[in-house]
Structure formats: structure tokens, C-alpha cells
Amino acid sequence: MENIPNLFGGSTLSFTKNPNCAGGVATHAGKEFENYLETILEENVPDYYSIIYQPTYTNHYGLPGKRKDYKLVPNSNMLSADSKTSKLETYMLEAKQLGDCTIVQKLDYEWNNLRAGCYGDNFWLIYDYQRHNNSAIKWVSAITEYCINLKKEVADIGINFEWIDHNDFKEMLCEQLN
């Protein structure tokens, strides 16, 4: 618990810095998930790609400097007109640890930015959730159905979107980049 200034010149109590509060636990789980995906990227991304950590973008509100987790960018010094590297794509990646799926509304922000083209032509959202939680299983099933339609919707404007279970990430990564 900590006293912090509020917008009106007064002060208020904040519990968010406590690592045992819901936000602290979620932040820790999210960071562990990002570290896990980072290891997969570092072990499997070919040399003709660079991994950019915490790349920035402008969101659908027009606010610059927002961050994603990773961006895969072709190394220009390794591109050649004669090889498979001449058609390499750039990919924006986001890791989402959905936990028990009680706050999946945060995905709506992702979908709005995706529809607005804020993430470029290729956006992958790699997710995990509590697989033993019946409510989370139902939520992820519903979101997966939603993402099937969303993928079709954004394909019409030239955007490739992938909703990727983390268990399928390494295979998808190797398939797409090699």
C-alpha cells in the first residue's frame, strides 16, 4: 500500500505495487510467459531475421509510442532478389497470458488496433490460459471462433492475423519463417 498523488492534486492509496495483488500476480505470470516465448524466438528465428524487443507503434487513437512484445524484421543485408529471402515479411507479435479469462476485454483493444492496421501486415497473438479452468476453456473456445472470423475480416484489407496457442507457436514460427 502506498500514498500516491491523484489527478486533482490530492493523494490516494494504491495497492498496485504489491506483487501479491491481482495485478502484480498477473504481471509476473505475463512476464514469465514472455520469457518463455522469447526463448523460443531466440532458438528458432533464422539469421535472416532480427528480433526487435518492445517495438513501438501508433495505436488506433493516434497515440504514438505504444509497445508490443516482439517484432520480426528481415535483415536487409541478407536479402537477395534470387533467393527465398526476397519475399520476407515483417511480423508483429504479442504474448497474452489470459489466465482464467476474467479480463478478456483487453483483447478488444488488440482487435481495434488490428483492424486499423496499427500492427502492420502480419500480426500474431500468442496466448496461454488456465487449461484446467472450465470457464477459461469456454472463453478461449469463443475467442477462437471470433478470431476465425476476424482473420477473414482483416484479410480483406491485406492483413494476415494469427491467433496462436503457445503450444503451436514454435511449429508456426518455423513453418512461416523457413
Q: For residue range 71-81, what is the model confidence (pLDDT) as tens digits? A: 999 987 665 55
For the whole model, what pTM was predicted?
A: 0.83
Question: 1-43 pLDDT, tens per residue?
Answer: 676 777 777 777 666 555 555 555 567 777 899 999 999 999 9
43 Cβ contact partners less than 8 Å away, ≥ 6 residues apart? none
Identify the structural domains of the chain with CATH numbers, from first to last.
25-177 (3.40.1350)
